[in-house]
Amino acid sequence: MIAIALILLFPHLRDTTFSGIELFNPPDPIIQPLSYAKAVQNAGPAVVNIYSEEIQTSQGYGRKSSRSISLGSGVIMDSAGYILTNYHVVQNANSIIVLLQTGQSLSAELIGFDIFTDLAVLKVNAINLPVIPQREGLISRAGDVVLAIGNPLNLGQTITQGIISATGRTGGGLSITSYLEFLQMDAAINDGNSGGALINTNGELVGINSRKFIDDKHNIQGIFFAVPYKLAHKVMQKIIATGTVTRGWLGVSTNSSRAGGKGIVIDAVESNSPAQKAGLQVGDAIYQIDDETIISVAQALDLVAETSPGDTLVFKIFRKNKLLEVSIMIEEKIAD
């Protein structure tokens, strides 16, 4: 009866396929497919292509010059024109060109770099640049979905998707000398992706894409690394402020923790290091540095690395069930 009343009141409905059944049983809504397009839309404009040119002059007769161009990606970190990328992308470059996603080409200046994290900071003179979304305190976990944005093989901006496979990766024994804790993920990183953005599904920066795992003996796939956002941002700020990154060096390596989760066990002591000079030994368990109880390698790493060379830290250790206190003057970590 309701349908009949509607047809009488609105005659134009007679020519449609409307029925009373549809009034009481509306069609199911269309379920939208899962998409990361919004995240890419938020972050993509801030990921740039980087072309670095190196001019090499031969030492032979005639001294001919040759040019080589390296390809990479970068991330605009603030509207003042600071861009983060990998150091190996711009190493030895005589000129650096940044190409925005709008097609605008800009000349870039190398502000500084950090060999240990393979990060470099560039500066371009431009205004109203798109900035990648960032969230202070962002913590990444194994299993998080991530997207890698870059310019692989100069194909143009490309998105690859994966998950964070692990955090705190070092590629070998942990050395309490500098920050070396990378994110491991399976979002593909190819030539040209280096220095690009690793983002989460909100479009927030998770890390700076860095490298892929290489093993000459095996055909390894799906293992790639990125510098975590927190570390990359800290390194960038130091480079902007001083042009370089200075880190404290102790000179011990460890992969082990004490039972109960308090303290770390020394696996190796580098020769002529501050640790060796102070008498630290393999098997010593460091459970406190100054006033901080040590519960993880990462924590100890940060404490030592953030200490200015020449300053002294007090280490409390267990050695063969004896409690010892050792004062160690931290030195600067120098690249090999």
Catalytic residues: 88, 118, 194
Distance CA 100, CA 137 (A): 28
Q: Which helix (H) or strand (E) holds 241?
A: helix 229-242
Exposure b/e, 280-316, CB count within 10 A at least 16 = b: beeebbbbbbeeeebbebeebbbbbbebeeeeebebb
For residue 263 the two structure tokens come to 């303290």
Distance CA 86, CA 73 (A): 8
Exposure b/e, 194-220, CB count within 10 A at least 16 = b: bbbbbbbbebbbbbbbbbbeeeeeeee
Q: How far is CA 293 from the centre of its chain?
A: 28
Write the burial class of residue 66 (CB in 10 Å: 0-12 exposed, 13-18 middle, 19+ buried). Answer: exposed
Q: How far is CA 269 from CA 70, 155, 168, 253, 279, in A?
A: 38, 46, 21, 7, 10
Q: Using the 8-state DSSP alphabet, how is residue 176 labeled?
A: B
